[in-house]
Structure 1
């Protein structure tokens, strides 16, 4: 059953890629001179890059200063604190296949933007689009890791007796809030969908592209919960943050002719 689920997930992601690839070229006929263009501004781009890198650097520093959970602390934790009722579900999950599938989804979100290159319109604006996507990824990663290393919320598996002590005593065991897989996947998918929709405003395929962009990170979030890596609230917040960044970064670069 585990083998089947893993293969099914891979097949699903491949099918989505193929369908998106087929949808983009046909809708390229909608090009017109009134389409918005993405513009770069040296000061703005340097600010986004430097602030994101600084945030990642600070997060790494905080991570190194973070104490790990000891066996005594783990044994005396008792029940999880400050959790909504539905969050307790995650403490009973430990599905390895789900964790693996969530990694597949994350990797897909990194590759997915390259599908935009199938569009002649997008290829003419490859430089600003590439920079926008990099900024989207960096900004999301910085916000996520800084929050993780500041909040230091214990992951659900820390409270799961089926999980080994070795995993519970790693630094990553207190980096639950919020879900990085979900936030990053959402940001990249939403940014890609946003740019596609901007360049193909009359294409009916844009609705499918947006639906796919929304569904993939939701699926990744579900897998993170089933894998015991995140609470439902971690995933929901990660989705909201990722969606916000994925829409905002391309939008601030938009300028109509």
Structure 2
């Protein structure tokens, strides 16, 4: 699988280098973008491992949970559970990953689709790293854990302890806002721009609604996810614009001096005056 991923990345980069045209508003660099993507994917792997190694709750800990301890803005969602809404949320979630295909009918975007693919991969790798590491590090019970009609086994499961923040909403928001941002940059005078941005807001908002009613996340979990995804979807293309020479966003990682392992990871943001 790793070899296949590497091959796909190489093909995308080669396509980008060969297909980048003058009409593209973006600039890409094989080395810098390669490091960005490789670091992002590596941090995703670290985050997934952290999620898998999380501990679930004991039965006593579940019984000790009290809705009154939850913020008022979230308290109304405690106990939500809907398997149907949870399954329904996957349809717009997966569909959002294909949104960049909407660029294909346009000559300018189609001629630079390899370059757009690089930016898209960077966007999703970045938001994925932020989500997985946060979900792995933060222990917060999902709303469904407060529902006493659900089997105790499901309420105790470690998967039920990663409510913050919403991965579905973050990924959908990143894909949707990336699509809107790139569309506007390639078509600054298009009358469709307001509708494209409206869609970028509505799609992840709908996913967030379903993830809340299904008992997977509280409102604040999804609001944070929406913001993280939107910011990533907008900033990654913006950083690569030819007219932007001052803003730079990059993934970071630091290791213990004694070599015991990774102890710091995240994103670096720099602005040159």
Task: Select which of 17, 40, 46 maps to 1:58.
Answer: 46
After TM superposition, the score normalised by the length of structure 2 is 0.77
- Structure possessing the higher relative contact order (Cα contacts under 8 Å, 6 or more residues apart): 1
Do 1:154 and 1:173's aligned partners in 2 also have CA atoms closer than 8 Å? yes
Count of aligned positions: 224
Displacement after TM superposition at 1:252 (Å) = 1.2
- CA offsets per residue over residues 163-189 of structure 1, 9 Å max, x none? 222222222111110011111000000
Contact 2:131 2:170 in 1 (8 A): yes
Q: Is the 8 A contact 1:137 1:188 kept in 2?
A: yes
Q: 147, 158, 181: which is aligned to 1:171?
A: 158
**Residues 81 and 213 of structure 2 are in contact (CA less than 8 Å); yes or no, is this contact kept in structure 1?**
yes
Q: Which residue of 1 aligns with 2:103?
A: 116
Q: Is the 8 A contact 1:38 1:125 kept in 2?
A: no
Spell out the pairing of 1:50-199 with structure 2 (5 A cutoff): 50-79=38-67, 81=69, 83-199=70-186
Contact 1:35–1:256 (8 Å) recurs in 2: no
* Deviation at residue 67 of structure 1 after TM alignment: 1.4
- TM-score, structure 1 length as denominator? 0.82
Q: Distance in 2 between matches of 1:59 and 1:144?
A: 8
After superposition, the CA RMSD in angstroms is 1.9
Q: Deviations over 1:216-254 (max 9, x none)?
A: 101111111111110000010000000000001111111
More helix by share: 1
1:214 aligns with 2:211: no
Distance verdict in 2 for CA 1:139–1:80, change over 3 Å? farther
By percentage of residues, which structure has more strand? 2
- Tell me, in whole angstroms, the C-alpha distance in 2 between the residues paired with 1:218 and 1:52: 25
Query: Against the structure 1 CA distance between its residues 123 and 34, is the aligned structure 2 distance closer, same or farther, given a 3 Å change threshold?
Result: closer
Cα distance in 2 for residues equivalent to 1:138 and 1:63: 17
- Give the drift of 1:120: 1.5
Q: Deviations over 1:70-128 (max 9, x none)?
A: 222212223363x3202012113212222122111101111111111121111010111
What is the match of residue 43 of structure 1? 31
**Structure 2 residues not aligned, in runs of 5+:** 1-20, 245-273
Question: Aligned-pair distance for 1:40?
Answer: 1.2
Tell me if structure 1 keeps the 8 A contact 2:135–2:163. Answer: yes
**Offset of residue 61 of structure 1:** 2.6
Partner of residue 242, structure 2: 255
Instruction: Measure, in 1, the Cα distance between the counterparts of 2:104 and 2:24.
Output: 17
On the 8 A contact 1:182/1:217 being kept in 2, the answer is yes
Whole-angstrom CA distance in 2 between matches of 1:88 and 1:211: 29
Which digits, 9 at most, give the CA deviation of each residue in 1:192-239, with x for residues without a partner? 111111111111111101111111101111111111110000010000
